Structure 1
Amino acid sequence: MKKKYVLLFLIVFMLQHGFSQQMVLKKGTILDALPVQDSIPDTFSLYLPTDFTTEKKWPLLLIFDLEGKEKQALSMFVQAAEDEGYVLAAPRVLDSISLSNSIVKAGKVLSKVVGMLPIHRERIYTAGASSGARFANLVPVFIKDVKGVVSIGSSIANTELLNVKRPFHFIGITNKNDFNFTEILAAKKVLDRFRFPNQVLLHEEQTEWPNIGYLKKSLQLFTLAAMAKGFAVRDSSYIEKALREDIIKVNRLKNAQKLLLAERYLGEMMSIYGAHKNLDSLRQIQKNIRKDQRYRTMRRAENAALFKESLLKEDYQYYIEEDVITHNFNNLGWWNYQKSEIDKFISGNNIYEKEMGNRLLGYINALTEDNIDIVKSEALIDEDALALLYMLKTILEPQNFDFYLETISLSSKNEDFGTALFYLEEALKNGFKDSDKLYGLEGTALLRITPKFNALVEKYLKDARYEIIEE
């Protein structure tokens, strides 16, 4: 009986740039911080399936995380790699370095892995979630050996960079509550026009990462496409098994009255199985769903929500740009009203407006954070614009206390103690309890010794550090 993790070793001898390197690679476990070159500190993580052998060529999935958690990101794909037979590698690439340098690092890791393992040159793919996905989407644009992308929770970074002469296979994974849902659908239209193979998988978890089944399905789609192109041996039993699983999923969605999801999934199935099977039966199922009056009602309701969402997003983008440029603090009341309206969508009974509300909230948060990054990246930081954006974030995320503290710190630095005290009390009202963080907050030395500051801390936390008596 084959064990899940077998302690077999692969000894790799390499001659690169005039030096020899020996590396011991263990199968069935994640190998962390492997050096790319002896003289360069760049590293990567690697995973070899337990049945790995040098007797055949393997598909490779390069996984990216720009927050220094590449090992954790790689671990999300381990079971899928075991089931589908993929080698995994995760270069250490951070968001703090330039795009060009990051691409160079990714290219070096790719060359390293291809040089020491039997990797199939036509079956090299990338993957990532959120910011890692945005970077993964760019890699095949600059590195021609990469043939596909698994993009979790992110659309194509820049469709203008796509080259119709160098198509790659795009698999987007998102859910309808994620603001990237509409962006991925828009990118899908561009990819269809450019004849890039693509599928969009919709999961129902409101989390960044979908369950393992979707990760496995994405690798399965790459394998089916490789079989269609002759890059992998055509396996009829594999194709039949995958098709049965997908038909079961469609039937489950239909039985649960999730007709929009069922119809959309059928469309993705036909785009991948067309090269392998006669799809007349699937087309008939899709046609019957589209004729269903319940489907038509759902389609109209979703389209109405999507149209309303597009109008609101235009307003949000316009007003945030205007407010930042003009330092329009008076418009915070309007933003507070918009947040209350979004909360009504989210708590309402209309499922399509509920999804829209979640997308809108995610969109404004992302828009605000992008503007914060832009303002902070300037040589001369516009502190009024930054303060406004911090205040907006306290409206959008009332339980995220970092932005209250940023507002208090920035206001205190500019001796606007009235604003600082207001946001201090708002944070305390919403449940902030870390008095040590308050008394160590940068730029608040004068504020911290005022009677009003300590009175608020004493009122809510019973932990005032200074007792100052006003005369």
Structure 2
Amino acid sequence: MKKILLFALILNSTFFYAQELRLLRGAITENLIVNDTVNETYSLYLPTSFSVDRAWPLAFVMDLEGKGKAAVAMLMNAAEQEGYVLASSNNISDSLSISQNVLIANRMFNSVFNTVPTAKNRTYTIGFGGGAMFASILPTFINEIKGVISIGASIGNLEILNAKQPFQFVGIVNRSDFNFRSMYDTKQVLNKLKFPNQLLVFDADRNLPEIETVSKAFRMLTLTSMAKGYLVQNDSLIRSSYNDFFVDANANVTNQKPLLATYQMSDMEKIFYPLMKLDSLKESQKTLKRSTSFRQANRSQNSYFLKESFTKEDYSYYLEEDIISYNYANLGWWNYQMQELNKLDRSAILFEKQMSSRLRGYINALISDNIDYLAADREPDLEALNLLYMIKTITDPNEYTSYLKVISTSSKMEDYGTALFYLEELLKNGYTDTQTLYSIEHTALFRIMPEFNEVVEKYLKGARYDVIEQ
């Protein structure tokens, strides 16, 4: 028998029920207990318009770092705008197995279902990066989930998709994100499998989408619910949504981004086909695809896709070879590759700049994956790990952790010359945390050496030990 919750309005902003649980409207309620038998909590966001007299669409935010409040906070403005409830667990973690995380998620789902009046067939998952990949596999295990919003990641495992249990997949990705290619390819696979899907592609300086883009993803879920009869059709909302989407597509045509416009129009056709006539949209699509600008852009993109694929193969091959042979001599080759990407960053050709960004993201992700793999061994290969961290200082020079790891590992192996070199490279790149410098693991002997303190004094004017000149 389901537990009945008694809600009442307190000071126009707070709800409570018999067990003194208080849920805020228009704000995040933290550390809600899943149930009395497990030590698990979650964060919950209710829109300011929330009331208990109607059922609400619900999106579960998946975060593999267990930071429920932070995950919800990133999406609450879009959820507020579109009228969605958000919930996120504080216990899901990338250190746990998929099955353990699925069970944690399922317990949270049941807790929220028993707390908030939820619209039938309007339950979704959403996430960023790794959290998005996990969000995309949950519908296979939990029937109640009818759609996924995936920000910056493709589906976690295409092989487990069940054609008899389809769900709507809405991807969001920047064309400069290294995951763009995989999400673009996944879209083609989903089309063949007849899985309902959309891909919101944007260009920006950062990979995270603006609120308006996330709001559009929520709106697509709402419109699909109307098309399937899960929600009463709102003709005014349908028409205004169509007009807004069409204006955005035309803006990309005007801004000489015909490919983005075609992506948008393709998604519009899927979303609005069951809801209204699309004669003008189809005609616009035909006109755009016949245009010289579209054909040129499409050829250019395909050409850069091919070049990108070859370069990624080179990166993967040489990284593996370097690890196996401890090939420190190849550090110069990696430095050259990054210099070539730096040149592309300054290119006037948009496709070149975006390819450069994707390649940089790819190699850094590849190095991180190899580091995680080697570090997980019972007896890690310190020399191989050290080499990977050295390469990482080249491919991502502003990530200070890599320098600190090289300094630590080199000191452990009593290679103080290498440790000193990377100490100075770290400080040249703007590192200023003296306290951390003097607490790096395995550097007890290294940090009392005159050479160490000379470098610290040179860049930070704060060496802990005096340098004695003989």
TM-score for the superposition, normalised by structure 1: 0.93
Q: Where does residue 147 of structure 1 map in the other structure? A: 146
- Root-mean-square deviation (Å): 1.8
2-structure distance, mates of 1:430, 1:84: 43
Q: CA deviation at 1:84?
A: 2.0
Mapped partners of 1:247, 1:132: distance in 2: 31
Residues 406-417 of structure 1 mapped to structure 2, 5 A cutoff? 406-417=405-416
Q: Does 1:7 align with 2:12?
A: yes
Tell me which residue corresponds to 2:83. Answer: 85
Q: Deviations over 1:196-220 (max 9, x none)?
A: 1000001223334311111111111
* CA displacement at 1:399 relative to structure 2: 2.1
Deviations 1:397-430 (A, max 9, x none): 2122221111011000010111111111222222
- Between the aligned partners of 1:429 and 1:209, the Cα distance in structure 2 is 29
Pair 1:70-2:68 in alignment: yes
Question: Which amino acid counterpart does residue 23 of structure 2 have in structure 1?
Answer: L
Give the C-alpha shift of residue 275 in structure 1.
Answer: 0.9
- How many Å separate the matches in 2 of 1:466 and 1:9? 57
Query: Which one of the candidate residues 21, 24, 44 is aligned to 1:23?
Result: 21
Unaligned runs of 5+ in 1: 14-20
* Whole-Å separation in 2 of the counterparts to 1:160 and 1:167: 13
Q: Deviations over 1:65-116 (max 9, x none)?
A: 2223321221232232233222211122222322211111110111111123
CA distance in 1, matches of 2:112, 2:457: 59
Say if 2:120 and 2:230, in contact at 8 Å, map to a contact too.
no
Alpha-carbon distance between aligned partners in 2 of 1:245 and 1:380, rounded to the nearest angstrom: 57
Query: Who is 2:281 aligned against?
Result: 282
Q: State the partner residue of 1:207.
A: 206
Deviation at 1:309, TM superposition (A): 0.4
Preserved contact between residue 228 and residue 276 of structure 1 (Cα < 8 Å): yes
CA–CA distance in structure 2, aligned partners of residues 23 and 193 of structure 1: 47
> 1:363 corresponds to which residue?
362
Counterpart AA for 1:406: K
Structure 1 residues 11 and 441, CA, compared in 2 at 3 Å: closer, same or farther?
closer
Q: Aligned residue for 2:7?
A: none
Q: Is the 8 A contact 2:448 2:465 kept in 1?
A: yes
Q: How does 1:115-264 map to 2 (within 5 A)?
A: 115-264=114-263
Return closer, same or farther for 1:450/1:77 CA change in 2, 3 Å cut-off: closer
- For residues 447 and 86 of structure 2, the distance between their equivalents in structure 1, rounded to whole angstroms, comes to 51
Residue 47 of structure 1 aligns with which residue? Answer: 45
| Aligned-pair CA distance for 1:25 | 2.4
In the other structure, the counterpart of 2:433 is 434
Residues 239 and 395 (structure 1 numbering): CA distance in 2 closer, same or farther, change over 3 Å?
A: same
For residues 343-362 of structure 1, the aligned pairs below 5 Å read 343-362=342-361
**Partner Cα separation in structure 1 for residue 93 and residue 398 of structure 2:** 28
Match of 2:32 in 1: 34
Corresponding residue of 1:267: 266
Distance 1:467 1:47 in 2: 55
Q: Distance in 1 between matches of 2:105 and 2:87?
A: 10
* Structure 2 runs not aligned, ≥5 long: 1-9
Aligned residues: 460
Work out whether residues 201 and 263 of structure 2, in 8 Å CA contact, stay in contact via their aligned partners in 1. no
Q: Distance in 1 between matches of 2:123 and 2:405?
A: 43
**1:202 to 1:22, Cα distance in 2 relative to 1, 3 A:** same
Distance 1:312 1:7 in 2: 58
Distance 2:14 2:346 in 1: 55
* Secondary structure of 2:133's aligned partner: helix
CA contact (8 A) 2:202 2:260 kept: no
| Residues 326-360 of structure 1, C-alpha deviations (whole Å, 9 max, x = no match) | 22222211111111111111111111011000000
Mean CA deviation greater in 405-414 or 65-74: 65-74
**CA separation of 1:83/1:466 partners in 2, compared to 1, >3 Å: closer, same or farther?**
closer
> What is the identity, as a one-letter code, of the residue corresponding to 2:184?
L
Per the TM alignment, residue 469 of structure 1 is displaced from its structure 2 partner at its CA by: 4.7
The alpha carbon displacement at 1:36 in A equals: 0.5
Q: 1:248 Cα deviation (Å)?
A: 1.1
Deviation at 1:316?
Answer: 1.1
Deviation for aligned residue 1:454: 2.3
User: Structure 1 CA distance, aligned partners of 2:395 and 2:424?
Assistant: 17
| Distance in 2 between residues matched to 1:457 and 1:25, nearest whole Å | 51
4+ aligned runs moved over 4 Å, structure 1: 468-471
Pairwise CA distance, 1:317:
1.4
Do 1:309 and 1:360's aligned partners in 2 also have CA atoms closer than 8 Å?
yes
Q: Deviations over 1:149-184 (max 9, x none)?
A: 111111111211211121111001011000010010
> After superposition, what is the alpha-carbon deviation per residue over 1:416-448, rounded to whole angstroms, capped at 9, x for unaligned?
111111111222222223332222211111112
3-state SS of the aligned residue for 2:31?
strand
- Matches of 1:240 and 1:404, distance apart in 2: 55
Q: Distance in 2 between matches of 1:116 and 1:399?
A: 45
Separation (CA, whole Å) in 2 of partners of 1:114 and 1:266: 36
Contact in 2 for aligned 1:390/1:403 (Cα 8 Å): yes
Residue 458 of structure 1 and its aligned partner are, at CA, apart by: 2.7
> Which residue is 1:102 aligned to?
101
- Distance, in Å, in 2 between the alignment partners of 1:80 and 1:440 is 43
What letter corresponds to residue 182 of structure 1 in structure 2? R
Cα pair distance change 1:182/1:139, threshold 3 Å? same
Do the aligned partners of 1:148 and 1:169 also contact (CA within 8 Å) in 2?
yes
Greater Cα shift, 282-291 or 360-369: 282-291
Structure 2: which amino acid aligns with 1:77?
Answer: L
